[in-house]
Amino acid sequence: MSGTYEPLTESAAGQLITRLGLFSKEDILEVEEIGDGNLNLVFRVTKTETNESYIVKQALPYAKVVGESWPLTLKRATIESQALRQFRDLTPGYVPNVYYSDETLAVTVMEDLSRLDVVRKGLISGKQYPLLPKHIGEFLGNVLFHTSDYAISPEAKKVLAAKYVNPELCKITEDLVFTDPFFNHDTNDFPEELLEDVQKIWGDQSLLVQVAQLKKQFITEQEALLHGDLHTGSIFANEDTTQVIDPEFAFFGPIGFDIGQFFANLLLNYLSDVERSRRYLLDYVKETWEVFVNTYSTLWNTHQVDAFSKVEGVLPFILEKTFADTIGFCGCEIIRRTIGLAHVEDIDSIEPHRTQIAVKKEALQLGALLIKERKKIETIDQLVTIIQTNTKKKEQFV
């Protein structure tokens, strides 16, 4: 069904669904462009008679957030559809169905999750998702174990990793998460009131050394298949269900990265509400880690293929390293979402402006602290205590 690449229109998206046989030519379809991201076109195609619907997602050859001056590979659409299928094989309850993909058109047709909330928007509105940490912990534990050297042979892992070589999207992360926010770069975006705090980060040599170490790990460690962009805007949920989407940044990297990104976005929402306590978000952080550890450890003890699987101390070493990495990556994500190119609505929507500035100052302080102290924090309870201790004066911002 491939043809020459060109951006889809609403009409073309509807025609594609018809050609695939998901709807018939006689059906009356409603098509709307619903994408609000930075890199893609997203259409919802609905059969008006039954309200049945599908999502058509197409990669653009440039970043929408910047424009055609920032070209991007279309291969990321293939990587995304591969990753969705891989994740669904490993965690079938936590990933939407993929019905069709086309490498030339950079198109993926998938299940419509509009019955669920985008978790970021739900958290901003004050909703709670009691099963979110359990589901994400299980998702991470399964994917990060089953695509590692501890679950598959070295040969099989190298073949799998070759499918997810993703240099352009990784370069975006290398720049926007690990580099630009820590230097005076023109992609950074922050209000004048933060300049002194930002300059403090730029001038903190001990912090920069730690960030350089984390960037090196991101670039060089190929521990397992990562989602690569696991923030709360890439997760749909309700009280019963959690679904992970948008893995176009997928690649093989350090397993603490996905966990750290998820933690950071929970914490940014935790920081954002200065009027009410969102202690439950710290509980989410704690439970996610505990479920991840339990899931990963169970799989280690039952599905390990490496000769060192039964050597006492190896699994604790893996988990200790992963925990420190998670905390460091979390800190980098908090800082970049505060002063880098791509912000989060959780904090940018805070009113009045002086309160927003106070929260952003706190976010920068917390992010730097987590990066610098990551190897000294030994347990998830210690992490939660540190976060509470360093955010306990939020009520003064109101």
Domain count of the chain?
2
Confidence label for 81 from pLDDT (cuts 50, 70 and 90):
very high
Same domain? For 300 and 218 the reply is yes
Q: What is the mean pLDDT of residues 96-116?
A: 97
Q: What is the mean pLDDT of residues 372-376?
A: 98
| Boundary residue ending a domain (111, 129, 153) | 111
- Sequence-ordered list of residues with C-beta below 8 angstroms from that of 141, at least 6 positions apart, any chain: 291, 292, 293, 294, 295, 296, 299
Domain boundary pick from 54, 85, 111 = 111
pLDDT value of position 398: 46
| Predicted confidence (pLDDT) per residue in 226-276, tens digit | 999 999 999 999 999 999 999 999 999 999 999 999 999 999 999 998 777
Query: Do residue 267 and residue 352 come from a single domain?
Result: yes
Q: Check whether residue 292 and residue 344 sit in a common domain.
A: yes
Q: Read out DSSP for 31-52?
A: EEE---SSSEEEEEEEETTT--
Domain span including residue 47: 10-111
Give the separation between CA 84 and CA 88, rounded to whole angstroms.
6
Residue 122: inside a domain: yes
* Contact between 314 and 370 (Cβ < 8 Å): no
Mark whether 293 and 205 lie in a shared domain: yes
Say what the pLDDT of residue 149 is.
94
Mean pLDDT across the stretch 28-43? 89
Sheet holding 107-111, edge to edge: 29-33, 40-47, 53-59, 107-111, 98-102
Q: pLDDT at position 5, please?
A: 94
* Judgement on whether residues 146 and 71 belong to the same structural domain of the protein: no
Of 73, 93, 111, the last residue of a domain is: 111
Predicted TM-score (pTM) above 0.85:
yes
pLDDT above 60 for 397: no
Give the pLDDT band of residue 395 (cuts 50, 70, 90). very low
Whether residue 178 is found in the same domain as residue 86: no
3 in a structural domain: no
- Contact (Cβ atoms closer than 8 angstroms) between residue 141 and residue 295: yes
In this prediction, residue 2 has a pLDDT band, given cuts at 50, 70 and 90, of low
Q: CB of 56 within 8 A of CB of 98?
A: no
User: Is 227 within a domain?
Assistant: yes
Question: Is residue 64 over pLDDT 80?
Answer: no
Asked if the model's pLDDT at residue 394 lies above 60, the reply is no
pLDDT averaged over the chain? 95
Q: Does one domain contain both 201 and 325?
A: yes
